[in-house]
Amino acid sequence: MAVLVWLAGVSAAAEAPKSGQILNLSCLQALVAVDEGNLAGVFSFVPEKDSPAAFADLVVRNPKAMKKYLAMLEKDLKEVSGISAWDHEVLAFAVSVYASPLASTLEKPAPRILKRLLELNGVASLTLQEMTSRRSKP
């Protein structure tokens, strides 16, 4: 009898999965920029406060993705003279990963990549509204 009660509880839990949340637009833009848009569904289950760290973990483990991400940030910097607050958090986490003992388990980035990460971490942080406003000006 106890087994049936347990199975009923397991079945009920399996039928009601935790639903994802709306994905931060900066996160979605970054995923698309690094050709990982297919991970948007996965990232919808990552709490928004943890998404910059999760994305940083993705790019520090994939040098090609890091290059593409930095190219996206360079484009934002050129177009709107800043980067999003979300991207700022990603950069801060990536820099902290490269400065931690975890860095020894990762492929070492080129010195220019690390230098650019540090430089971009120091640029102005803009809200999504400010970025959209600056993009729409002729």
DSSP tag of 38: G
More confident residue, 102 or 18: 102
CA gap 117, 73 in Å, rounded: 10
Element containing residue 123 per DSSP (H, E): none
Task: Look at residue 16 and tell me whether its pLDDT is greater than 70.
Answer: no
- The domain spans of the chain are 2-136
Average pLDDT over residues 86-97: 95
Considering the entire predicted model, what is its pTM? 0.82
Residue linked to tokens 């994905």: 23
Nearest C-alpha neighbor of 36 from the set 8, 69, 60: 69
Asked if the model's pLDDT at residue 74 lies above 50, the reply is yes
> The tokens of 103 are what?
């860095």
Residue 42 DSSP SS3: helix
Instruction: Look up tokens 């930095």; give the residue.
Output: 70
Kindly indicate the confidence band of residue 59, based on its pLDDT and cuts at 50, 70 and 90.
very high
What percent of the chain clears pLDDT 70, i.e. is strictly above it?
Answer: 84
Looking at residue 129, what is its pLDDT?
85
Long-range contacts of 66-71 (CB under 8 A, 24+ apart): 66/94, 66/109, 66/113, 67/113, 68/33, 68/34, 68/35, 69/30, 69/33, 69/34, 70/113, 70/116, 70/117, 70/120, 71/33
Mean pLDDT of the chain: 86
The pLDDT score that the predictor gives to residue 14 is 47
Give the whole-angstrom CA distance, residue 129 versus residue 127: 5
